[in-house]
C-alpha cells in the first residue's frame, strides 16, 4: 500500500480527536469537530448528472482523511467503469490527492468490491478507502454495512461509500450526504472558478441532520470554504425541491 510520497505545498492541519476538519466552521460544528475516522460515510450523487461532482467531493474528503503519509485506495466494479469514466491523475492532484500515493483497484463485481473493502480495512494499511458503486447494490444491505463499520472501527481507517444513480437505503453508516454540482464563481481575469458543491447532510448518528451548505474547494489550502454568506446554513429545500430528492433515480442511457 505504500505507493510513494511527495511533499505538499500547504499540508492540511492534523485532525484532532480522530476527526478531519473540513475548514467550514458550521459544517465541522454540526459534526462535532469534523468527519470521524474509523467510520463509514456515505456520499450520494443527487442525480445521475451529479456523479462527477459527488466523486470529486468524495476524493477531496478521502484525501484529507488519509493525510499525506498514507495511501488512498479507490475500489471500483468492472461493470461500472464505462458509466463512471476514467480517473485522471491531474484531477486527483487538483482535489488534494497525490496520484503517486494512490491505488485504483477494479474488481469483477459487487461481492468482490465489498470483500476488497473489508480486507483493506482489516489490514489498516491505507489511510482511507473509497468504494464506488453505481445503481442499486443489493449485496450492500444492512448486515453488510455493519460488517464494514466494524472493520473500520477496529482499524481506525475511514471508508467512503460513493453512490451514484441510487436511492439511499438503510445502513449502519455514521453519516450520509447528498452532493450536487453548484455554479462556481469566476476568478479575476475570468479564470475558471474553484470547484463548488451543494452539500446536504441527510443523516447523522447522534447529531443534527437536514442541514445544507454550498462549498468551494480550495486546492492550495486543501480545505473547503463556504461559498455562500459567511456562516450561512440553508435548508435543503432552498436548493432542491423535496419532490426531486424523493423521485426515483434516473440512469443515463
Distance CA 44, CA 135 (A): 11
The answer to whether residue 251 is domain-embedded is no
Calculate Rg over the CA atoms of the chain. 17
Task: Say which DSSP state 234 is in.
Answer: B
Within a domain: 237: yes
Domain that holds residue 88: 19-185+192-245
* H-state helical runs in the chain: 25-30, 51-66, 81-84, 89-94, 110-123, 142-155, 236-239, 242-246
- Indicate the range of 75-79, 123-127, 187-191 predicted with least confidence: 187-191
Nearest to 66 by CA among 37, 41, 34: 37
Bridge pairing between strands 128-134 and 72-77? parallel
Strands 40-45 and 175-181: parallel
- The arrangement of strands across the sheet holding 128-134 comes to 102-107, 72-77, 128-134, 159-164, 40-45, 175-181, 196-204, 211-218, 223-226
- Phi, psi values for residue 124, rounded to 5°: 60, 15
> In the chain, what percentage of residues exceed pLDDT 90?
52
CB contact burial 124-158 (16+ within 10 A = b; e otherwise): ebbbbbbbbbbbebeebeeebbeebbebbbebebb
Of the pLDDT bands very low, low, confident and very high (cuts 50, 70, 90), residue 66 is confident
Residue 141 lies in a domain: yes
Task: Identify which has the larger pLDDT, 48 or 131.
Answer: 131
Residue 80, phi then psi, degrees to nearest 5: -95, -10
pLDDT given for residue 39 in this prediction: 96
Residue 7 lies in a domain: no
| pLDDT score at 93 | 79
Of 115, 159, 117, 162, nearest to 135 by C-alpha is 162
**Would you say 153 and 39 are in contact if contact means Cβ atoms under 8 Å apart?**
yes
Average pLDDT, the chain: 82
Residue 250, pLDDT above cutoff 80: no
Q: Specify the pLDDT at position 233.
A: 41
Answer yes or no: is 11 within a domain.
Answer: no
pLDDT of residue 190: 74
List alpha helices for 104-218, DSSP H: 110-123, 142-155
Mean pLDDT of 29-58: 94
Instruction: Kindly state whether residue 8 falls inside one of the protein's structural domains.
Output: no
The fraction of the chain above a pLDDT of 70, given in percent, is 82
**Please, which pLDDT band fits residue 253 given cuts at 50, 70 and 90?**
very low
- The total of structural domains in the chain comes to 1
Q: For position 224, which CATH number holds? A: 3.40.50.300
Average pLDDT of span 211-240: 69
Amino acid at each position: 500500500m505504500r505507493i510513494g510520497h511527495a511533499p505538499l505545498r500547504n499540508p492540511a492541519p492534523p485532525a484532532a480527536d480522530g476527526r478531519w476538519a473540513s475548514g467550514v466552521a458550521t459544517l465541522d460544528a454540526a459534526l462535532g469537530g469534523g468527519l470521524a475516522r474509523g467510520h463509514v460515510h456515505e456520499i450520494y450523487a443527487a442525480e445521475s448528472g451529479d456523479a462527477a461532482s459527488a466523486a470529486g467531493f468524495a476524493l477531496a474528503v478521502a484525501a484529507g482523511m488519509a493525510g499525506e503519509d498514507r495511501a488512498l485506495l479507490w475500489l471500483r466494479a468492472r461493470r461500472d467503469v464505462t458509466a463512471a469514466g476514467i480517473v485522471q491523475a491531474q484531477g486527483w492532484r487538483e482535489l488534494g490527492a497525490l496520484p503517486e500515493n494512490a491505488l485504483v483497484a477494479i474488481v469483477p463485481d459487487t461481492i468482490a468490491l465489498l470483500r476488497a473493502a473489508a480486507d483493506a480495512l482489516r489490514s489498516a494499511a491505507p489511510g482511507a478507502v473509497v468504494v464506488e458503486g453505481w445503481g442499486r447494490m443489493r449485496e450492500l444491505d444492512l448486515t453488510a454495512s455493519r460488517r464494514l463499520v466494524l472493520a473500520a472501527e477496529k482499524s481506525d481507517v475511514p471508508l467512503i461509500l460513493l453512490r451514484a444513480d441510487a436511492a439511499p437505503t438503510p445502513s449502519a453508516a455514521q453519516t450520509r450526504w447528498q452532493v450536487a454540482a453548484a455554479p462556481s464563481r469566476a476568478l479575476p481575469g475570468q479564470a475558471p472558478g474553484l470547484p463548488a458543491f451543494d452539500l446536504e447532510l441527510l443523516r447523522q448518528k447522534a447529531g443534527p441532520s437536514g442541514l445544507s451548505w454550498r462549498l468551494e474547494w480550495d486546492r492550495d489550502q486543501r480545505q473547503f470554504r463556504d461559498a455562500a454568506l459567511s456562516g450561512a446554513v440553508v435548508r435543503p429545500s432552498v436548493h432542491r425541491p423535496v419532490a426531486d430528492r424523493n423521485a426515483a433515480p434516473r440512469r443515463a442511457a
